[in-house]
Every structure is written in C-alpha cells, then in structure tokens.
A and B are shown apart, each in its own frame.
Chain A
Amino acid sequence: MSEIAQELTVTAAAFRSGAMPVTKVTRKLWQQAAGDLSRGLITLLSLWADHKAVYMALLNEDTKHIGVLRLDIRRDDFPSVSQFHAPAGRLERAISDLFGIRPDGADDTRPWLDHGRWQISHPLGATEPAEGPVVYEFLPIEGESLHQVAVGPVHAGIIEPGHFRITVQGETVVRLEVRLGYTHKGTDSLMVGAAPERGAMLAARTSGDSTVAYGWAFAQAVEAALGTEVPERAIWLRALMAELERLANHLGDIGGICNDAAFGMMLAQCSVLRERVLRASMQSFGHRLMRDIIIPGGVARDLDDEGHRALLALVASIRAAFPSIVALYDRTASLLDRTVSTGVLKPALARRFGAGGYVGRASGRDFDSRRDIPYAPYDRLTFEVPKRDEGDVDARIWIRIREVEQSLSIIMQILHQLPGGPIHTPAVPVGQPRQGLGLVEGFRGDILIWVALDAKGRVARCHMRDPSWFQWPLLEAVIEGNIIADFPLCNKSFNCSYSGHDL
C-alpha cells in the first residue's frame, strides 16, 4: 500500500453530497504520486490546472476512494507526471497550451490543442499575441519501405474533424498518430465567470451525443459545491434520460460498426431502433437529444403521462426487435470474421490508462462509475455491469449489446418506481468560494467535471474531462499490427469524441 493511496480517503457518498476536499501536496509528494501511477497502484482520473495550481484527481481501484491533489505553481512549471505515466501526456500538453505552465521533464512538449490559430497564446494564463500557425511535427519515421497515409482532418462522412497519420508497411499499420484540437471551442474560457445556469448550457454543448451525461455531471459538481438537496423525482428523471441517451448511442454504434465492415443491414435495423428512441425522447422530454433539461438544482421539464406511456411502448418495441438483430450479428459469419480478433486492446493497457466505458470493460477492466462510485438513483436500481476479456472489436460490440439490455431494464425499473413531487430546488450561492466534483457514467465512460465557484456563486474554473482523453491514445496502440483497411472498424468500435476532447 503506497502512501499516496492512503491519502485518497474521499468516499463516493462524501464528495457527492458536499464540497470536494483538496489535499495540498509538495513537489516531492506530487512526484511520488506520479511514480505510484506508473506502478499501477492508483489510477489517474484527470489532470488540470488553474492560474495558481495544478490538480490531479486519483482513484484507488481497490477501495474505490478518490482524492484530488493540488500543487501550487512556482516559476511557471510543475513536475511532469507524463514522464512516469504516459496517459497524462496529452492532459499536460493541453495545460501548457491553455495556461502557459510548463510540465518540467515531460518528453513531449509539442502543442496539443493550440494549432497557432487562436491569435493569442495561453488564453487562460498570461495571454500574449500568438505568432501564427505553426508546423506540427509528427513523430519521426525511420525504417525501410515505410509509407505514410494522411487521413483527415476533413473526412468523407458526416463526422467530426481529426487528423490521422498512418504509417504503413504494405498493408500493415506500423504506427498511427492522431492529431486533435480542430473542434476547440474555448469552453474553458467561456466558463470563467459564467453563472451556473449558463455553465450548464456550456457543459451540455461540449459533446452533442453525451449532452445528458455532461449536463448531469456539471449539475452534480455545482450541487455538491453548494450542498443543494436535489428533489427525488428530478434525480430519477435524470437517470431516465441518461439511460435513454446510452440506449440511443449504443444502438447507433452497433449498426455503425457493422456498416464499416460493409454490412449495411445491421445499420439499417439499428438506425430504426435508434430513431424510435430519439422520437420517444422528443415526445417525453421535448428534445430528441434531451439537451438543457438537466439544470443545477433539478430538471427543467417534468415527464407527463403521455411521455410515460411513450417510453413504456418504446421499451416494449425494442425488446421485441433487438434479439433478432443480435442473432443476425451473431449468425453472420462473414461479419464475425471481420470483428473477432481485430483491434485487440490488452487488459494491462486498458488498466494503465484507466479506460472507461465499453473500451475498458471489453478489455477486462471491471469498472462502471454507476456501480463503483455510486450516485443516486443507481444505488437503488439493480443492474449488471458486463465485462469481457478479449478486447477486440467483437467484444466491444457485445459489451454494447449487453448494456442495451441493461439500460432497457433500468428504464423499466425507473418508470415503475418514479416518485412524485417537485422537480427543482434553486441552487443558492453560499457566499464563499466552494469546489465540487461531478462524476457520471456517460455512454463512452466516466465523465469528470470539476467546478470551482467564487463567493457570488459564479464559475471560477471548470474542468471537463471526457472519457476520450484516455481512449484516443489506446486507439493508437490497438491499430498497430492490424491492416490499414481495418482502421475504420477499430475507430468506430472506440467511437471517441472529438468535440468533448478538444473542448
């Protein structure tokens, strides 16, 4: 048991009901934490900064306790975590782009989010005019008969922008390097000084397909910071929306992955089901993706009887149609031939990166924040967390299939147990600076949101960490040794967020 692991004492119940305590550490202890991370004793949840300090959120996987370490900055630098623990690398590069704080000793000091097109540099720190676009240096390639293929940032389909530099030897991929940051919206800067209501809107626009999960995580953080009691009914409605969102995205993904193996039938069938979910959401919550319905203090819209019936009908119709779709997948040998043993993510790597969601669970990382860092109402619902060890595209599809079944069951439980009462209590400022942490299981994995409020209750600093921060680097690892034609298949099976990552 390491010293740092013992420092992590905050239980789920504690940080979900009150302000998040922060442990101030020395540089020595900070480096020790980095060492423990590299030895796999603790898991990195996130790494971020404000203008005075850097923060590290950590999880002890055995006790499920978490903790936030804070290191005050001297001379614009802090000891790099990534020199010991690679998953922190891109978070550090983002910190130095946004704040101008240098990770001391980091191997990779290239800019990450900043492409030199913002006209200023370090928008959240000591701002100065920027020099203009810089040429990004990709990792050097040495060797015989290597060939580089550049894909993106603009892709042929209707997807988000991101650049993939694929080095191949014949058809085999030797290395994939991803470059992101094209959808940077300056959300961190916009958050500064925003009222919690506006902050919730910004959070809901971070990644469109996870708008409910982001809204919920932000609301959790603000409510925890201010000690707001959220009405029972609002909590249950939030879970209902979160499961509808998971259902819609998983259905879309299952079809999408199969379509990338040129099996259009699965996409057609799954799209029909996904569309039904979106229409039922429209009917019951007034928005197909249920954006801006979760607000700090509760929810903005109640579920009426008609919506209730629409959702019951939805679950019945999906339960009727889904098994035959699963059977179609399971019985199409030509499709399984593409997905089985393609893009294998090794369990050790998934654990090291703390990969959340289907990426982690398909590679033996048995973690779901709904169960392990529980929050209401999931502590009163019964559900299983599927886990597989193969780590290939097929396993990631099966995790999604099982989660669709679990979500259907959770939706039914919620619909049957939904309590009455009010749906909103105002979140009142407490007159002093407070900070809170929100941790919600989105469909991709755990979304972490850290909110520091000032004395007037406005956002002083908000950090949002999408699960994709730890999944993008794993995609690079997974594709190695596969053939380049399987890249879309692997990519779709990860389905990482661009917008949630680029902020």
Chain B
Amino acid sequence: MVLVVALAPLLVGIVRKVKSRLTRRQGAPLIQPYRDILRLMRKEVVLAENASWLFRVVPYMVFAATWVAAALIPTFATGLQFSWTADLIAIVALLGSARFFLALAGMDVGTSFGGIGSSREMMIASMAEPAMMLTVFSLALVAGSTQLSTVADYLASPEVGLRVSLGMGLVALVVVALAENARIPVDNPGTHLEVTMVHEAMVLEYSGRHLAMIELASALKLLLYVSLIGCVFFPWGIAGSDDGIAGYLRGAVLYLSKLVIAGVLLAVFETSTAKMRVFRVPDFVGIALMLALLGTLLLFVSRSL
C-alpha cells in the first residue's frame, strides 16, 4: 500500500520528463512531483468564503478512496493482504465515488469554471464508467471471477490463448484510462487556459494541503490504471502467492519496467496528438464503450456455441 503512494508521483515525473524531451526541452527532474507535493503540504490553505464543510472534506475523501482502490490492484504479486476484498467492481465503485465527490466540490464554491469542469467531467464519466464495467464483465467471464488476484493468476497461466474479447477489452481500458486521467486528447494536464480545462477546472479553487491531496490522488489514479492494465493484460512475471523472495524480486523489477514503458508510451502518444473538441470526447469514449460491449457479447456468443 505504501509502495503505490511512493511510486505514483514518479510515474507522473517520467511522463512529464519524456514529454519535455520530445518537445526539445530540458524538463524538470524526475522527483519534481514529490517536491511539488511537499511544497503544497507546507503552504497555507486559502478557502473561499462560501466554501462549505464538503469542500474541505472532499480532498481527503478522494485521496482515501483512490488510495484504497490503488492498493487493491496486484502490482507485482497476486498474494495481496487485501486480496479477499480485491474485487474489480469495488475498485470501479471506489473511483466512481471519488469522482462524484470531486464534482460536488467543484460546484460547491459556485465559480463558473468549477461548474464547467464538473459538468464536463460527468459527461465523460457517464461514458467511461460503463465502458470500464463492461470490460470488467468480460474479464470476469473469461476468468470466472471478479477477484483481481484470481483474474491475474488465471490470465498469467498458459491455458489462456489469444482472445478477441481480451484485445477489445484492452483497447477499451486504455481509452478509459486516458479519459479518466485527464490526458490528451480528452483533457490537457499542462494547460493554463481555464475555459478548456476539465479536471483542472474542477480543482481550480483548491490550494495548499488540499491541492496536495488531490494531486497525489490523481497521480495514484494514473498508477492504478497502469497497474491494472499491466496485471490483467500483461501479467508476465507477476509473482504468485506461494513464490519465494526471488519471485517477488523478479516481479518487482518487471513491474517497474512496465511502469516506465507505460509512461514513455503515454508521453509519446500525448505529444503526437492534439486535444479533441469537447463534444468529440463522448464519441471517443463511446468507442471504448462499444468495444467493451462487443467483447462481452462475443464471449457469450462463443460460449453458447
């Protein structure tokens, strides 16, 4: 659990560094996100006069929910302490409630940007969430369980061949990950233009430790999706519950390299495409929804034959 929090800002740092290098800039050092979070922790919190208790509580709630969700994902070993609770549906629910409260907080202070951000976020979420659920279902159908450890173990085993539904699920999950983590082409994490923001517009009013919590939570969310995609679709080298220390070590090294590869791929993708018009986003995320749906249907059809 501590590991994911410790690693999350590093992944953000990698993505930023690679993006900078790709656009001929030096880029901030890899540990800059850690420094930012520490700096924010030390700063005072500026609250709007009309902020309610909800506004103050939400950052902790979002962070806690995201952290628990992230901790439920097998990173390099399947024998997790909380394995018995690690249900994919629980993860989706945790993320959903985190988003719900963040959107509420965005509207709480009553600024125009907060409202715009919340409404856009909900519009995207209304497509991304069902897509995620359907991907979960097709995985569950393949593996016969929604327990993540079981799914990962099953998919790592040699009896799973190449499956069309899994490919569709992968594409769907990648699209959902892009949308959920406010990356280009859905949102631009590096912009200063308030009217174009989605995620950033919601949290514009936050400062100090509240902002630190939210930043850390979004870093965690990125790590969560990368780990999820890693453990479900690329489960090579993941250590089983009965593997020894050597197995764990091998898993950890492989996991780290998976993170680095994912970070570099994300940065390359983001540099090579522009942001979409806001109203094109539902189409884009809709593709994920369709693919996930097709994946699930295909499983049913092929099974009944």
Set of chain A residues within 8 Å of B184, measured between Cβ atoms: 262
Task: Enumerate B1-33 residues with CB–CB distance to A below 8 Å.
Answer: 19, 22-25
Whether B273 contacts A148 by the Cβ 8 Å rule is: no
Task: Enumerate A479-496 residues with CB–CB distance to B below 8 Å.
Answer: 483-488
A163 to chain B, nearest CB (A): 13
**A22 adjacent to chain B (CB < 8 Å):** no
Set of chain B residues within 8 Å of A300, measured between Cβ atoms: none
Whether A485 contacts B196 by the Cβ 8 Å rule is: yes
Report if A265-B22 is in contact (Cβ < 8 Å); known contacts: A171-B279, A483-B277, A485-B196: yes
- Determine the distance from Cα of A337 to Cα of B280 in the docked complex, in whole angstroms: 10
Set of chain A residues within 8 Å of B25, measured between Cβ atoms: 268
- Determine the distance from Cα of A269 to Cα of B112 in the docked complex, in whole angstroms: 35
Whether A268 contacts B24 by the Cβ 8 Å rule is: yes
Set of chain A residues within 8 Å of B115, measured between Cβ atoms: 147
Whether A486 contacts B277 by the Cβ 8 Å rule is: yes
**A264 adjacent to chain B (CB < 8 Å):** yes
Please encode chain A, from 271 to 301, with 1 for each CB lying within 8 Å of some chain B CB and 0 for all others.
0100000000000000000000000000000
> Among the listed B19, B22, B195, B280, which residue makes an inter-chain contact with A484, where contact means beta carbons less than 8 Å apart?
B195
**B275 adjacent to chain A (CB < 8 Å):** yes
> Among the listed A150, A261, A268, which residue makes an inter-chain contact with B274, where contact means beta carbons less than 8 Å apart?
A261
- Determine the distance from Cα of A150 to Cα of B115 in the docked complex, in whole angstroms: 13
Please encode chain A, from 76 to 102, with 1 for each CB lying within 8 Å of some chain B CB and 0 for all others.
000000000000000000000000000
Set of chain B residues within 8 Å of A318, measured between Cβ atoms: none
Report if A262-B194 is in contact (Cβ < 8 Å); known contacts: A149-B112, A338-B274: no
Give chain B's interface residue range (CB within 8 Å of chain A). Answer: 20 to 34
Residue of A nearest to B193 (CB): A488
Set of chain B residues within 8 Å of A484, measured between Cβ atoms: 116, 195
- Determine the distance from Cα of A263 to Cα of B188 in the docked complex, in whole angstroms: 9
**B174 adjacent to chain A (CB < 8 Å):** no
Set of chain A residues within 8 Å of B278, measured between Cβ atoms: 171, 483, 485
Please encode chain B, from 258 to 300, with 1 for each CB lying within 8 Å of some chain A CB and 0 for all others.
0000000000000111111111100000000000000000000
Whether A166 contacts B191 by the Cβ 8 Å rule is: no
Report if A332-B279 is in contact (Cβ < 8 Å); known contacts: A147-B112, A149-B113: no
**B192 adjacent to chain A (CB < 8 Å):** yes
Report if A264-B277 is in contact (Cβ < 8 Å); known contacts: A148-B112, A485-B195, A488-B196: no
- Determine the distance from Cα of A151 to Cα of B112 in the docked complex, in whole angstroms: 10
- Determine the distance from Cα of A200 to Cα of B190 in the docked complex, in whole angstroms: 40
Residue of B nearest to A332 (CB): B274
Task: Enumerate A11-44 residues with CB–CB distance to B below 8 Å.
Answer: none
> Among the listed B112, B275, B279, B280, which residue makes an inter-chain contact with A262, where contact means beta carbons less than 8 Å apart?
B275
Report if A166-B195 is in contact (Cβ < 8 Å); known contacts: A262-B185, A265-B22, A268-B24: yes
**A135 adjacent to chain B (CB < 8 Å):** no
Whether B276 contacts A156 by the Cβ 8 Å rule is: no
> Among the listed A262, A332, A334, A335, which residue makes an inter-chain contact with B191, where contact means beta carbons less than 8 Å apart?
A262
- Determine the distance from Cα of A146 to Cα of B260 in the docked complex, in whole angstroms: 46
- Determine the distance from Cα of A332 to Cα of B270 in the docked complex, in whole angstroms: 13
Task: Enumerate B109-126 residues with CB–CB distance to A below 8 Å.
Answer: 112-113, 115-116
- Determine the distance from Cα of A127 to Cα of B280 in the docked complex, in whole angstroms: 55
Set of chain A residues within 8 Å of B273, measured between Cβ atoms: 263, 332, 334
Whether B277 contacts A338 by the Cβ 8 Å rule is: yes
Residue of A nearest to B273 (CB): A334
- Determine the distance from Cα of A147 to Cα of B195 in the docked complex, in whole angstroms: 13
Residue of B nearest to A156 (CB): B192
Whether B279 contacts A265 by the Cβ 8 Å rule is: no
Task: Enumerate A429-448 residues with CB–CB distance to B below 8 Å.
Answer: none
Set of chain B residues within 8 Å of A264, measured between Cβ atoms: 19, 23, 190, 271
- Determine the distance from Cα of A87 to Cα of B2 in the docked complex, in whole angstroms: 63
Task: Enumerate B180-202 residues with CB–CB distance to A below 8 Å.
Answer: 184-185, 188, 190-196
Set of chain A residues within 8 Å of B193, measured between Cβ atoms: 156-157, 260, 488
Set of chain A residues within 8 Å of B276, measured between Cβ atoms: 334, 337-338
Whether B274 contacts A258 by the Cβ 8 Å rule is: yes
Residue of B nearest to A267 (CB): B23
Whether A156 contacts B279 by the Cβ 8 Å rule is: no
Residue of A nearest to B23 (CB): A268
Set of chain A residues within 8 Å of B185, measured between Cβ atoms: 262, 334
Set of chain B residues within 8 Å of A262, measured between Cβ atoms: 184-185, 188, 190-191, 196, 274-275
Set of chain B residues within 8 Å of A485, measured between Cβ atoms: 195-196, 277-278
Report if A151-B195 is in contact (Cβ < 8 Å); known contacts: A262-B185, A337-B274: yes
A11 to chain B, nearest CB (A): 46
Set of chain B residues within 8 Å of A260, measured between Cβ atoms: 193, 196
- Determine the distance from Cα of A483 to Cα of B279 in the docked complex, in whole angstroms: 9
Whether A261 contacts B19 by the Cβ 8 Å rule is: no
Whether A149 contacts B195 by the Cβ 8 Å rule is: yes
Whether B275 contacts A338 by the Cβ 8 Å rule is: yes
Please encode chain A, from 460 to 499, with 1 for each CB lying within 8 Å of some chain B CB and 0 for all others.
0000000000000000000000011111100000000000
- Determine the distance from Cα of A332 to Cα of B275 in the docked complex, in whole angstroms: 11
Task: Enumerate A109-158 residues with CB–CB distance to B below 8 Å.
Answer: 147-151, 155-157
Whether B277 contacts A149 by the Cβ 8 Å rule is: no
A293 to chain B, nearest CB (A): 31
Residue of A nearest to B25 (CB): A268
Whether A151 contacts B275 by the Cβ 8 Å rule is: no
Set of chain B residues within 8 Å of A171, measured between Cβ atoms: 278-279
- Determine the distance from Cα of A207 to Cα of B112 in the docked complex, in whole angstroms: 32
Please encode chain A, from 157 to 173, with 1 for each CB lying within 8 Å of some chain B CB and 0 for all others.
10000000010000100
Report if A272-B24 is in contact (Cβ < 8 Å); known contacts: A335-B274, A338-B274, A485-B278: yes
Whether B195 contacts A487 by the Cβ 8 Å rule is: yes
Whether B275 contacts A261 by the Cβ 8 Å rule is: yes
Whether A157 contacts B274 by the Cβ 8 Å rule is: no
Please encode chain B, from 221 to 262, with 1 for each CB lying within 8 Å of some chain A CB and 0 for all others.
000000000000000000000000000000000000000000
B169 to chain A, nearest CB (A): 24
Set of chain A residues within 8 Å of B272, measured between Cβ atoms: 265, 332
The winner among B188, B272, B273 for most chain A CB atoms within 10 A is B273
- Determine the distance from Cα of A486 to Cα of B276 in the docked complex, in whole angstroms: 10
- Determine the distance from Cα of A269 to Cα of B115 in the docked complex, in whole angstroms: 35
- Determine the distance from Cα of A184 to Cα of B273 in the docked complex, in whole angstroms: 40
Whether A149 contacts B116 by the Cβ 8 Å rule is: yes
Task: Enumerate B94-121 residues with CB–CB distance to A below 8 Å.
Answer: 112-113, 115-116
- Determine the distance from Cα of A157 to Cα of B194 in the docked complex, in whole angstroms: 10
13 contacts between A and B (CB under 8 A): A151-B194, A156-B194, A166-B195, A171-B278, A262-B196, A263-B275, A268-B23, A268-B25, A334-B185, A338-B274, A483-B277, A485-B277, A488-B193
* Further 14 A-B residue pairs, CB within 8 A, beyond A149-B113, A486-B277: A157-B193, A261-B275, A262-B191, A262-B275, A265-B22, A265-B23, A272-B24, A332-B272, A334-B274, A334-B275, A337-B280, A483-B277, A485-B278, A487-B195
Q: Which 7 residue pairs of A and B lie closest in terms of their CB atoms, listed nearest first?
A: A262-B275, A268-B23, A156-B192, A262-B188, A263-B274, A335-B274, A149-B112
